[in-house]
Amino acid sequence: MRKILMGRFVALLFVAPVFAQQGGTSLRLVAAIPLPNVDGRIDHFAVDLQGRRLFMSALGNNTVEVFDLKTHQRLHTISGLHEPQGVLYDPASKRIFVANGDDGTTVVFDGATFQALDTVHLSSDADNVRLDAAAGTVYVGYGEGGLGMIEASSGKQVGEIPLPAHPESFQLEKSGPRIFVNVPNASQIVVLDRAKRSVVARWRLGEYAANFPMALDDAHQRLFVVARRPAELLIFDTGSGKLVGHLAAANLCFGWRRLYQRLRTNGRRPFPGARQNSHCAGRPHLVLLTGIEPALSRRTAPWRPAMRAQGL
Each residue of 84-140: pLDDT tens digit?
A: 999 999 999 999 999 999 999 999 999 999 999 999 999 999 999 999 999 999 999
Q: Does one domain contain both 139 and 228?
A: no
Q: Is residue 301 part of a domain?
A: yes
Domain membership of residue 198 (yes or no) is no
d(CA 244, CA 248): 14
Task: Verify that 127 and 210 share a domain, yes or no.
Answer: no
Nearest to 302 by CA among 237, 191, 213: 213
| Ramachandran angles phi, psi of 49, nearest 5° | -65, -45
pLDDT of residue 14: 56
Output the pLDDT for position 219.
Answer: 93
Query: What's the pLDDT tens digit per position in 13-63?
Result: 555 544 444 445 566 777 888 899 999 999 999 999 999 999 999 999 999
Residue 25 CB burial class (10 angstroms; 0-12, 13-18, ≥19): middle
Q: Does residue 223 form part of some domain? A: yes
C-alpha 158/C-alpha 196 separation (Å) is: 14
Q: Please give the tally of structural domains in the chain.
A: 2
Lowest mean pLDDT: which of 63-67, 138-142, 171-175, 256-260?
A: 256-260
**Does residue 195 lie within any of the structural domains?**
no
Residues 167 and 236 in one domain: no
Same domain for 155 and 229? no
63-67, 202-206, 293-297, range with the lowest pLDDT: 293-297
- Overall average pLDDT of the 191-212 stretch: 97
In-domain check, residue 1: no
Cβ-count burial of 240 within 10 angstroms (0-12 exposed, 13-18 middle, 19+ buried)?
A: exposed
User: How many degrees, rounded to 5, is the angle at CA 211 between CA 208 and CA 215?
Assistant: 120
Looking at the chain, the whole-number percentage of residues with pLDDT higher than 90 is 68
CA gap 150, 203 in Å, rounded: 27
Please indicate, yes or no, whether residues 163 and 228 belong to a single structural domain of this protein: no
Handedness of CA 207, 213, 218, 222 (dihedral sign): negative
Residue 4 belongs to a domain:
no
Q: Is 169 in the same domain as 46? A: yes
Pairing of strands 188-193, 2-6: unpaired
Looking at the domain assignment, is residue 166 inside a domain? yes
Single pTM value for the model: 0.84
222 within a domain of the structure (yes/no):
yes
Q: What is the CATH number of the domain that holds 70?
A: 2.130.10.10
Structural domain for 86, as ranges? 42-174
Whether residue 277 sits in one domain with residue 158 = no
Residues 170 and 209 in one domain: no
Per residue in 243-271, pLDDT (tens digit) is: 999 988 765 455 544 433 445 445 554 44
Residue 263, beta-bridge partner list: 258, 288
- CA–CA gap between residue 28 and residue 12 (Å, rounded): 8
Do 218 and 287 lie in one domain? The reply is yes
Which of these ranges, 166-170, 230-234, 245-249, 283-287, has the smallest mean pLDDT? Answer: 283-287
| Pair (217, 105) in one structural domain | no
Q: Are residues 160 and 253 in the same domain?
A: no
Q: Are both 49 and 166 inside the same structural domain?
A: yes
Rounded to the nearest integer, the mean pLDDT of the chain is 83
